[in-house]
Structure 1
Amino acid sequence: MGVLRSLLAWLSVPVICMFALPAYIVRPFNPDNNRLLGWTMARVGRAILGMKRPLDGAHNMPVDRPVVVIANHQFNDDLFVMGDLMPPRTVTVGKSALIWLPFFGQVFWLGGNVMLDRAHSRKAIAAMQATSNAIIQDNKSLWVFPEGTRSRGRGLQNFKKGGFYAAVMAGAPIVMVCNGEYHNRTLGWSGRREPVAIRILPPVETVGLTVDDVPALIASCHQQMADAVASL
């Protein structure tokens, strides 16, 4: 039953994207498209999975100014766990190969999200610089998985620097979204997915920081997130 629930949840993603695609075409690169789509996919996905998602610290997510959100990344199912937590006008970061996924790739691109080719580091750095400018000039927020890959429930991995540089260069606060470790286990005969708890930590201000402060900023955020994840 759990396998069937998971299959149906993921089949809902391209279907939702297919119905959303006309709206993206009508207002392309509008970042609020991402928030509405993320909300829909997360709520539908959790309903199909039978997953509960206790949330602590929702008031710590600013909605009146641009922020850089960093979150730990465990499985692809993080889409259902956290997709409805995006603040207004949020773009996110993904691999350039995503554009080839039917329907999802097209709405991802039309959402104005940052598509990185990690094989070309100079292009990746240029993309993050452009993102910093967008935070300042276009009042956009940025959602980043700083580990750069899925941890598969094996604890918090090392952080990559890009999102922190973007935050410092834009003077935007960093908001940490911490989801407790999970392993896609099911509960009982119905195959409902185990609950996944979320804690949103208070914003960390970056105004006045320089690129020289980035290593210490990364270390501090990593420690705070590791402590929060361990306590969930």
Structure 2
Amino acid sequence: MGVLRAVLAWLLVPVICVAGLVVYLAKPFNPNNNCWLGRVLARSGRWILGMERPLVGLQNMPRDRPIVVIANHQHNDDLFVMGDLLPPRTVTVGKSALAWLPFFGQVFWLGGNIMINRAKSGRAVAVMQATSNAITRDRKSLWVFPEGTRSHGRGLQPFKKGAFYVAVAAEAPITMVCASPYDSRTSGLLGRRQPVTVQILPPVETAGLTNADIPDLVERCRNQMQQAVNALPAAE
């Protein structure tokens, strides 16, 4: 039953994206489209999976100024766990290969999200620098998985520094979103997913920091997230 729920949840994604194309084509590159899509995908997905998502610290997510959000990345199902937490006018960072995913890739592009080819590091750096300008000029927020790849619930991996360079350049606060360790295990005859708790930590201000402060900033944020993740109840 749990496998069937997972298949249905992911089959619903392209269906919602096709419907979402109408919204995206009517308002192309409007970052608020991403908030709408994330909310619909996450809540629909959790409902199908039978997953509860206790949330702690929602008041710590600023909604009145541009921010850089960093979150731990465990599985593809993070879309269902955290997709409805995007603050207003948020764009996200993803691999350039996402553009080839049917329907999802098209709405991802039309949402003004940032596609990075990690094989071309110089290009990736240029894109992130342009992103800091967009945060300042267009008052957009940015959502990044700083680990760069999925951890599969095995703890935080090392952080890449791109999001921190953006935050410092834009003097935008960093807000950390921490999801408890989880996997695809289910419980009960109906195959409901185990609950995944998410905690949002208070913002870390970056005003006045320089690039020289970034290594310490990365370590400080990672340590705070690690402590928070360790304290959250793991799925059993």
* Structure-2-length-normalised TM-score: 0.98
Residue 35 of structure 2 corresponds to residue 74 of structure 1: no
Distance in 2, matches of 1:200 and 1:214, equals 21
Distance in 2, matches of 1:184 and 1:39, equals 21
Q: Which amino acid aligns with 2:103?
A: F
CA displacement at 1:126 relative to structure 2: 0.5
The corresponding residue for 2:30 is 30
CA displacement at 1:189 relative to structure 2: 1.0
* Equivalent runs, 1:119-198 vs 2, <5 Å: 119-198=119-198
Please list every run of 5 or more consecutive structure 1 residues that lacks an aligned counterpart in the other structure.
none
Secondary structure of the residue that 2:148 maps to in structure 1? Answer: coil
Distance in 1, matches of 2:170 and 2:155, equals 29
The corresponding residue for 2:83 is 83
Secondary structure of the residue that 1:69 maps to in structure 2? Answer: strand
Secondary structure of the residue that 2:119 maps to in structure 1? Answer: coil
Q: Which amino acid aligns with 2:152?
A: R
CA displacement at 1:94 relative to structure 2: 0.2
The corresponding residue for 1:16 is 16
Distance in 2, matches of 1:127 and 1:116, equals 8
Residue 101 of structure 2 corresponds to residue 95 of structure 1: no
Distance in 1, matches of 2:209 and 2:53, equals 34
Please list every run of 5 or more consecutive structure 2 residues that lacks an aligned counterpart in the other structure.
none
Q: Which amino acid aligns with 1:183?
A: D
Query: Which 4+ residue blocks in structure 1 deviate beyond 2 angstroms?
Result: none
Distance in 2, matches of 1:227 and 1:184, equals 23
Distance in 1, matches of 2:22 and 2:39, equals 18
Aligned length: 232
* Structure-1-length-normalised TM-score: 1.00
Distance in 2, matches of 1:26 and 1:105, equals 17
The corresponding residue for 1:214 is 214
The corresponding residue for 2:104 is 104
Secondary structure of the residue that 1:133 maps to in structure 2? Answer: helix
Distance in 1, matches of 2:147 and 2:135, equals 21
Q: Which amino acid aligns with 2:225?
A: M
CA displacement at 1:184 relative to structure 2: 1.5
CA displacement at 1:170 relative to structure 2: 0.2
Q: Which amino acid aligns with 2:228?
A: A
